[in-house]
Each structure stands twice: as C-alpha cells, then as structure tokens.
Amino acid sequence: MKYNDIAKKFERHVPVYCGSKFVWEGKTGVSEASSLGISCTNVPHGPCYLNEMGGGVIVESHITGTQREFLLTETEMDDSHTIKAWHFMDVIDNELRIVILND
C-alpha cells in the first residue's frame, strides 16, 4: 500500500469554531469552552496534519467566512493539574492568538 493510499484513509478532525464566539481585544480572542459547545471531557483541538502530534483549531470569520488555522502552543494548568485554558497561535500571523478557557 502506498503512502498516498494510507493518507487518504485518515481524515483531519480539526474543529471549526465561529469567530463570533470569541471576545476580541486587539489580536487576541478569548472564549469559554462551553460557549463553543465543548464539554469538560472533550479536548477542544484536533491534529492539524497527519504526521503532527500537536493540535489545532480553525476559526471562521462570521463576517467574511475566512478560515484561519491556529496551533496549540500551551495547555495552562493550575496547581492541582487541572486544565485552566488552551492557548493557540495563528499559523500565518504569530501575533494573532486565541485562548479557550476550560470552564
């Protein structure tokens, strides 16, 4: 079996979130996980590329329909090792970031 045949069997399961669900201040958008339809047992990101161990999300502009891909840069934990937030950075514009709070 060729690599392309194997690759075709995999699907990207990268979640797409609407930009209107984030509160934007400058180039940073913040949203609570529950506002995005994420339950406390779900991880809010998926693999961006077939060979990637990290995760990412796509944010779609509710105005233009443009989609931007963000890569996970940090999983923020509290002292009891509970996840507080996930931090992401745009793959093209490193100043554009989103934070998903684990509420």
Q: Is 71 among the domain residues?
A: yes
How confident is the model at residue 9, as a pLDDT?
43
Domain count, the chain: 1
Rounded mean pLDDT, 50-72: 82
> Does residue 1 or residue 17 have the better pLDDT?
17
Q: Is residue 42 part of a domain?
A: yes
Which tokens hold the place of 70?
């963000």
Structural domain including 24 reads 12-101
pLDDT of res. 2:
44
In a domain, 22, yes or no: yes
97 close to 89: Cβ distance less than 8 angstroms: yes
Q: What residue has token string 């989609």?
A: 67
What is the signed CA dihedral for 50, 35, 62, 16, rounded to 10 degrees? 10
Per-residue pLDDT reduced to its tens digit, 85-99: 999 999 899 999 999
What pLDDT was estimated at residue 1? Answer: 42
Residue 92 in any domain: the answer is yes
Is there a domain that residue 81 lies in?
Answer: yes
Is residue 70 a contact partner of residue 54, using CB atoms and an 8 Å limit? no
52 located within any domain: yes
Domain annotation covers residue 28: yes
In a domain, 67, yes or no: yes
Tens of pLDDT along 40-57?
A: 656 666 555 444 546 788
Question: 23 with 90: CB under 8 angstroms?
Answer: no
